[in-house]
Chains A and B, each alone.
Chain A
Amino acid sequence: MSLARLATGSLVCLSCTACAGWQSALEAHGTPATGLLHLTWLLFVVGALVWICVMAILVLALRSRAAISTQATATPDTRVERRLNRAVTGAVIATALIVMGLTITSFWVARVLSPESSSPLRIRVRGYQWWWQVTYLDARPDRTFITANEIHVPSGRPIVVELSAADVIHSFWVPNLAGKQDLIPGRDNTLQFTAREPGTYRGQCAEFCGLQHAHMAFLVIVDPPEQFEHWREAQLAPGASPGGTQEQQGQRVFQSKACAACHTVQGTSAAATVGPDLTHVGSRRYIAAGLLETTRGSLAAWIADPQTLKPGTNMPMVPLNAEELNAVSAYLVSLK
């Protein structure tokens, strides 16, 4: 008995440890997420209480039925009848009140999902198989820029994410900040959220979208407002010009081989839009939509054989010799 209890206890503890972290709806750090979490707990607690009451009454009823059947009375007792009537009426009223209360509460929470906010930061997120293109919109076109798989937002300011898809249906989900919203080809959606405090949260495609659906993650990095402005200015700058000879050679290889046919590096002749924008790829934490941490080694491994690391990805294996690969990885990691 005590062994079973120990096992159950440790199982509960283990499953609870999985509930926290940078990708968890149970740890809310933003506007709709907090409301949704409160609603979840409310529904859970009310549901649990109702279940306990029903079970208790069921047990009581079964017990008293056993007691009654031993007496075997033929005529119904009017006092018992009246008591039962009162109990059933009370239960019906309680059910109606609880359902109504929960409906009204969930309506209030749903209002928070799309509030009217003044001067929100508008970000356009486009889902591709299997990465995210992120465009920061601005009234001035020269202050618009494109990045990928990493979204920086200022804390405390409302964010409007315009969602669209290029190929199939994807779903944008950052559990710590907001609920899910689908990206549907030809049907643009929006999602609003406000992050309370600085932090790093992980998001993931939440709609099966093909072979590498599991490797379609992104980061939402919430910065203090002034740090966000600093980041934005850095992203607006063209790609860093290569410093050393190896980086220079890497840039030459990048532009003369197939890399530049799909990728953009602002400030150079590489300006294609099939693959992610690499202007500041070295400053991002992950490459290939959360597949590997950005290091020179992982960049080289990725370029050398993308189809083994992420089978089915649209990045082809570009034939490069060892020297070219070395140079290109040095160049890319220098694009801070």
Chain B
Amino acid sequence: MNKLRHALMVLLVIGVSACEREHRDLRQDPPVSAALESVATMPNGIAGAPPDVYSALNKPFASNAYSLNQGKQLYSWFNCKGCHADGGGAAGPAFLDGWWRYGPGLVSIFASIRDGRPAGMPAFKDRMTTDQIWELAGYVQTIGAYSGKTAAPSRNDEMQSRPSENRAPATVSVNDP
């Protein structure tokens, strides 16, 4: 009887320890947001280093499910679909194929969204906050990532036009330009 009680207590403690939820950053402190602004891109605008604060925050934009999901919402709210479709590309380049014109790094994607790129990509720095641009960049990177992730945004409400974001690695075809 005593043994049973002990076993139950242990089970209860284990059960309670499983109750922790992934941390959600609903709001970055203004100094953090300001620091997130200062990415150092290479002179040609391709690749670069994220600000120190990004690592200090434990790289949330690439690995936090809530942040990825916010990015997914922003992707449709700011009409990224209008040019890039559901990742397959249309007027804008595709993400699913794994060909990143400016490299697969998060900093490049952040810079592309914030400052725009030649041949039609508009700059979003006056339309979105820095935190939002980071969240969106994290999500866009997920679409064409080369390896699966453990964190994923929520499912599509509409019909699935492709495997879910964290599942499939980007399919790189060497014959494509």
Contact = CB atoms under 8 A, between A and B. Distances in A.
B131 to A, nearest CB: 6
Interface string A258-285: 1011100000000000100000000000
Interface in A271-324: 274, 305, 307-308, 311-312, 314, 316-319
Given A185-B157, A305-B27, A316-B129, 20 more contacts: A186-B157, A258-B126, A258-B128, A258-B129, A260-B127, A261-B78, A274-B77, A308-B27, A312-B24, A312-B26, A314-B73, A316-B131, A317-B27, A317-B28, A317-B30, A317-B129, A317-B131, A319-B30, A319-B34, A319-B130
Interface in A216-253: none
Interface string A89-111: 00000000000000000000000
Contacts of B131: 316-317
A85 interface: no
A116 to B, nearest CB: 33
Contact of B127 (A185, A261, A307): A261
A256 interface: yes
B165 to A, nearest CB: 18
A307 B77 contact: no
Contacts of A185: 157
Interface residues of A, number: 20
Contact of A311 (B26, B73, B129): B26
Nearest to B30: A319
Interface of B: 24, 26-28, 30, 33-34, 73, 77-78, 126-132, 157
A257 interface: yes
Nearest to A260: B127
Nearest to B129: A316
Contacts of B34: 319
Contacts of B28: 317
Interface string A109-146: 00000000000000000000000000000000000000
A256 B126 contact: yes
Nearest to A166: B157
Contacts of B130: 319
B72 to A, nearest CB: 12
